Structure 1
Amino acid sequence: MTVYPFTAIVGQAALKDALLLASIDPSIGGVLALGERGTGKSTAIRALAALLPEIEAVNGCPYNCAPDRRASLCEACAGSGPGRVARIPAPVVDLPLGATEDRITGALDLERALSQGEKRFEPGLLARAHRGFLYIDEVNLLEDHLVDLLLDVAASGENVVEREGLSIRHPSRFVLVGSGNPEEGDLRPQLLDRFGLCIDVRSSANLAERVEIVKRRDAYERDPAAFVRSWSRQTLALRKRIVRAREALPGVTMPDEVLEKAVGLCVALGADGLRGELTLMRAARARAALDGETCVTEAILRSVAVPSLRHRLRKDPLDDTDAAIRVERAMEDVLVS
């Protein structure tokens, strides 16, 4: 299947930036895109798969184990010693809304058990998503027991399956990406808090932009392969930019005065816990690395504050002000040079 190119997406700068930041620093904690239908949320997220640089993995490992990270190898790779290294596409795995727990975590391979009498584990979506992205469309409609499962794995970085006579554990560290329409239901607070960045996605009101969207989509549907080729140069350039940003990220610094303003912003907004500060700091560093900067400035901090904090604000029944506006107002008070 030919995927619509990430670089050909018109508008939606906030969503594209959030996905790029999460691909540079997975510790940011993932991306949540909320908005009405038909705004390109799924298109942008699925386009990420063709954009991301390849990763190195142990050849044949179903969990995409990184050969240079001995401490995080699965039992098979750890027991067999260093294996051949293969370059594979960075995983971007769809978790269908109707997926069963067995499909997500993995289960006994029934066909092999019945035909050969052998108990063998069939890895699930969490195995495929390791070291990549796990995408959940309509995430706000996900069943509660599956939300609990994902929260446990996201917190521990490990998937544990103990049933049907099996006892399996394997690494499962992924960037969680979700999309949904808020009018169809809210996310549980525990799951909402797990997303590092939250983006409000809306249809463009600009006539020229909407015309360009329709023209590009029509060209893609008429000849997908030719359309993808026509954007290959831009895709390659952006992929190289991601690689450079990843390499530069460890060297990006955040001065104490900027960090103090980040913490002060979270305090002013009444954000619970410290996850807001940590996300703000990581997103700002990733933004600086993407822009080729070696130091986080107040301007960079401003650019990532809304997506980092808008979903962490306490709800006030007497104040129906949009969360993004509340963050903007707080920045005007706190981020003053």
Structure 2
Amino acid sequence: MAMASPFSQASAAAASPALPFSVSTSRPLSLTTAATAAVSARAPCRGSRGFRRGRFAVCNVAAPSAAELETKPAAAAKESQRPVYPFPAIVGQDEMKLCLLLNVIDPKIGGVMIMGDRGTGKSTTVRSLVDLLPDISVVVGDPFNSDPFDPEVMGPEVRDRLLKGEDLPVTTTKITMVDLPLGATEDRVCGTIDIEKALTEGVKAFEPGLLAKANRGILYVDEVNLLDDHLVDVLLDSAASGWNTVEREGISISHPARFILIGSGNPEEGELRQSYLEEQGKLQDQITSARSNLGSVQLDHDLRVKISQVCSELNVDGLRGDIVTNRAAKALAALKGRDIVTVEDIATVIPNCLRHRLRKDPLESIDSGLLVVEKFYEVFG
């Protein structure tokens, strides 16, 4: 289905290979509207993964210290959060909600891009994910939300401490959702030099940005169609590679930036409805179970071949369409509590994975989503 791009033509052309899903609806429902999803395949780290050129420190702006964790109980922290509309209370827009859930289950899918009219609850739906996000283990006081058990998702300082044999203090916390404001600068997003520390202490200090805080979490961009093209390229590059590299005034640092990128346009927020707490809890348990069982989900070889056949006959460039469809189908099977992917699972996710990857024909009147569906049934019978 044809839909407006959230980027300028130049940015869209450069970004399209990294965008995975695509969902589009236009029904004026009470809360939600058009949804387009985007996924990025994992790519290797760019540049150095450590410190170079001089002595400097990393300022802690993303993670709480041990003292803060002791003085601020979880209940008090939850009370300080603004209320969000419960996810189960959102009516309709099943494609958009499904794409968001699949990305929470398997973050390697990459992200979702939601476009629709004003006042239809796109931002409300995204923010309602906060209460569904499971807990993760992090290193106490680390600004990059480092995984204490996976060196590939560790910040440079934590990795050095681990190599030295130090015991890492570990705690559990909710997956973070970071809002990226439209007025944010590249320094605020990627990180910059701590000028105050440089002037007062005479040392170079790196102050992590929003990408560091969003590591292992969700980065949400409101009004993504109004975001500066350069920042769009930075976000897509980091989302695709999983790393952010900063070069500032003699400082070179690379840190993990593996996040689910979600963008939307014209957001509106809802109000809290306590009557959905029970459904909210059930859905949260379902997501947690799906994440833990994802690795055991099997996709039959014949089905993988047919997925590739659909992509080939639709002239989809590259392998990302195949990869994303496979990942999304497995995530959906896990969400449904199964360990085998069915044809129905593939039929549900494949239009969202391929519709935006098709080459556009200005004379073509049929919606790209329908082309995908027709080719699916032709190949799968």
| TM-score, normalising length: structure 1 | 0.83
User: Is the CA contact 1:41–1:179 (under 8 Å) kept in the aligned structure 2?
Assistant: yes
- The residue number in structure 2 matching 1:58 is 139
- The residue number in structure 1 matching 2:275 is 230
Stretches of structure 1 lacking an aligned partner (at least 5 in a row): 182-215
Identity %: 49
- The residue number in structure 1 matching 2:181 is 96
What whole-Å deviation, never above 9, does each CA across 1:168-202 have from its counterpart, x for those lacking one? Answer: 22111111111237xxxxxxxxxxxxxxxxxxxxx
Partners of 1:71 and 1:237 lie apart in 2 by 32
Q: Secondary structure at the match of 1:304?
A: helix
- The residue number in structure 2 matching 1:188 is none
Answer yes or no: is 1:162 the counterpart of 2:162: no
Answer yes or no: is 1:118 the counterpart of 2:199: no
Q: Secondary structure at the match of 1:162?
A: strand
- The residue number in structure 1 matching 2:130 is 49
- The count of corresponding residues between Structure 1 and Structure 2 is 295
Answer yes or no: is 1:74 the counterpart of 2:162: no
Partners of 2:167 and 2:126 lie apart in 1 by 33
What displacement does 1:321 show? Answer: 2.0
Within a 5 Å distance, the mapping from 1:115-154 to structure 2 comes to 115-154=200-239
Give the aligned CA root-mean-square deviation in angstroms: 1.9
Partners of 1:167 and 1:332 lie apart in 2 by 51
Amino acid at match of 2:247: E
Amino acid at match of 2:256: P
- The residue number in structure 2 matching 1:280 is 325
Amino acid at match of 1:65: S
Within a 5 Å distance, the mapping from 1:244-283 to structure 2 comes to 244-283=289-328
Within a 5 Å distance, the mapping from 1:299-314 to structure 2 comes to 299-314=344-359
Amino acid at match of 1:300: D
- The residue number in structure 2 matching 1:322 is 367
Partners of 1:304 and 1:40 lie apart in 2 by 22
Partners of 2:366 and 2:115 lie apart in 1 by 17
User: Is the CA contact 1:67–1:82 (under 8 Å) kept in the aligned structure 2?
Assistant: no
- The residue number in structure 1 matching 2:192 is 107
User: Is the CA contact 2:217–2:260 (under 8 Å) kept in the aligned structure 1?
Assistant: yes
Partners of 1:320 and 1:164 lie apart in 2 by 53
- The residue number in structure 2 matching 1:189 is none
Which one scores higher on RCO, CA 8 angstroms, separation ≥ 6? 2
What displacement does 1:139 show? Answer: 2.1
What displacement does 1:31 show? Answer: 1.0
Partners of 1:6 and 1:113 lie apart in 2 by 45
Partners of 2:111 and 2:167 lie apart in 1 by 31
- The residue number in structure 2 matching 1:206 is none
User: Is the CA contact 2:132–2:287 (under 8 Å) kept in the aligned structure 1?
Assistant: no
Amino acid at match of 2:141: G
Range with bigger deviation, 51-60 or 324-333:
324-333
User: Is the CA contact 2:197–2:204 (under 8 Å) kept in the aligned structure 1?
Assistant: yes
User: Is the CA contact 2:86–2:276 (under 8 Å) kept in the aligned structure 1?
Assistant: yes
Amino acid at match of 1:108: I
What displacement does 1:299 show? Answer: 1.0
* Shift in CA distance, 270/67, structure 1 to aligned 2, threshold 3 Å: same
What displacement does 1:116 show? Answer: 3.5
Stretches of structure 2 lacking an aligned partner (at least 5 in a row): 1-81
